Structure 1
Amino acid sequence: MPEGMPEGGVEVLRAMQVPTQRIIAIGLVLWAVALVVTLLVPALHEGERSWWPWGCVAGFVLGTIGFAYVRRGRGNAHDAG
């Protein structure tokens, strides 16, 4: 029987290790870039698109909250068992 297979024949699954903080940080940078672009290009924040900068701000704020949550150790599955 292969390693990691219990007697019942069902494979034991393990959580993937992903760089969560790095992924969130990249997302924050992308939201900040999107905000700058929408503010610099008038066609992206005038008329029916006037909410686009606020969407970028919301993404950045929620990402910051998520980053703080993960950084404190509550959002990662490292200690989950």
Structure 2
Amino acid sequence: MEQHPFDAARMFLVGTIVWAVAFVALLPFAGRLSDAGRAWWIWACLAGVGVGLLGWEAARWVRDRSIRE
């Protein structure tokens, strides 16, 4: 099978790491964000981590299945 230069699993992993870093970076500002009505930013980062982990696992599954075929 032909190799593609695009690795979706790596893309999801990098994106998940970026969301996780943003989550940790925003935690010290939770009080200020809440006062400004922007506490959802923290939850959006956490959701990004969760969706990224799901996408990473799905991309790995598809890649492994493709390699087996």
**Residue 27 to residue 60, structure 1, CA distance change in 2 (3 Å):** same
Contact 1:39 1:45 in 2 (8 A): no
Contact 2:9 2:57 in 1 (8 A): no
Q: Which has the higher contact order (CA 8 A, sep 6+)?
A: 2
Structure with max Cα Rg? 1
- Using the alignment, how far apart are the partners of 1:46 and 1:57 within structure 2? 16
**Residue 62 to residue 44, structure 1, CA distance change in 2 (3 Å):** farther
How many residue pairs are counted as aligned between the two chains? Answer: 64
Residues 14-33 of structure 1: matches in 2 within 5 Å? 17-33=5-21
- Give the number of the structure whose residues are more often helix, by fraction: 2
TM-score, normalization: structure 2?
0.73
Matched, 1:60 2:49: yes
**RMSD (Å), alpha carbons:** 2.7
TM-score, normalization: structure 1?
0.63
Q: Percent same amino acid among aligned pairs?
A: 31
